[in-house]
Amino acid sequence: MILAHEVAGDSSDQLPGVALVAHDRRKEELMGWAATHLEFLLSRPVYATATTGTLLRARLGLPIRLLHSGPQGGDQQIGAYIARGAINGLFFFWDPLTTHAHGDDVRALLRLATLRDIYVACGPTTATAIASQLSSRETSPVPA
């Protein structure tokens, strides 16, 4: 597995990145959304948890800064990138009908995204609106 800090090209002159995360029952939905918005995703750094990122790489050839799986610390890794301003959009297709052993990690990630006031999408409609907003800007500052 390539960890995000090992990927060349992490530099401050790039647009802030986005994180893609999907729970098992929503992975196909995220894959479909990503395929439709590939140009947007190719225009900025993309971080993803392990299984989601591996699927995105295999199916779409998308360059991914691959993190650990969510339950093994990937949600917290994304939170750390949000906290330091490297991610300004969280595309988290979570499953509201299933309990998760790492539910506390999920809540912590969503809490941090809210505190940092970044863009958060939990489904394709909001994800499309956010991608459109971010695409319309030459740069997308991350709130302080």
Catalytically active residues, by annotation: 75
Residue pair 87/48 in contact (Cβ under 8 Å)? The answer is no
Secondary structure (DSSP) of 31-59: HHHHHHTHHHHHTS-EEE-HHHHHHHHHH
CA atoms within 13 A on the CB side of 79: 16
